Structure 1
Amino acid sequence: MTLSSVAPTLRQRYARVRATAVLASRSERGDVPGWVLITLMTAGLVIIIWSLAGPALSSVFEQAIQRVSGF
């Protein structure tokens, strides 16, 4: 095997590895609209739960402070 016969093979391997790396980097970017949707839905759930549970949590906190202050 001579150097001239090995060089094209190395170039072909390099080209394949580079193409695979480019495809992998593109697929690793993720789905930006999907992440935006998940973030907005999570924020919406937090707002809904906080609006429903907020008054109850406030009263529980105030009762706990009153009990501690009573000692």
Structure 2
Amino acid sequence: MIRVNLFLKSKLAKLIKGQSRADVPGWVLVVLMTTALVTGIWSIAAPKLTTILRNSLDAMGGIR
């Protein structure tokens, strides 16, 4: 039982060491996917947001 425990601890330590290098590509992937989602949502929402902004500015121009 002790041998199995030591074996598993050594394998776990090696696995943890190996994962520390993989964190950077993981974060890069998260940033790229987030950027893609924001760009996609922005391209869909931009015309509506432009219309809302123009209507608001036109309404403000009538207040003067």
Letter in 1 for 2:44: L
Percent identity (aligned):
43
Distance (whole Å) between structure 2 residues aligned to residue 30 and residue 70 of structure 1 = 58
Q: Which runs of 4+ in 1 moved over 2 A?
A: 26-30
- Give 1:58 deviation, angstroms: 0.2
* Larger Cα-atom Rg: 1
- Counterpart pick for 1:49 among 41, 46, 49: 41
- Pairwise CA RMSD: 1.9
- Give 1:37 deviation, angstroms: 0.4
Is 1:63 equivalent to 2:60 in the alignment?
Answer: no
Structure with greater proportional helix content:
2
- Counterpart pick for 1:32 among 15, 24, 27: 24
Q: Number of residues paired by the alignment? A: 46
Question: Normalising by structure 1, what TM-score?
Answer: 0.58
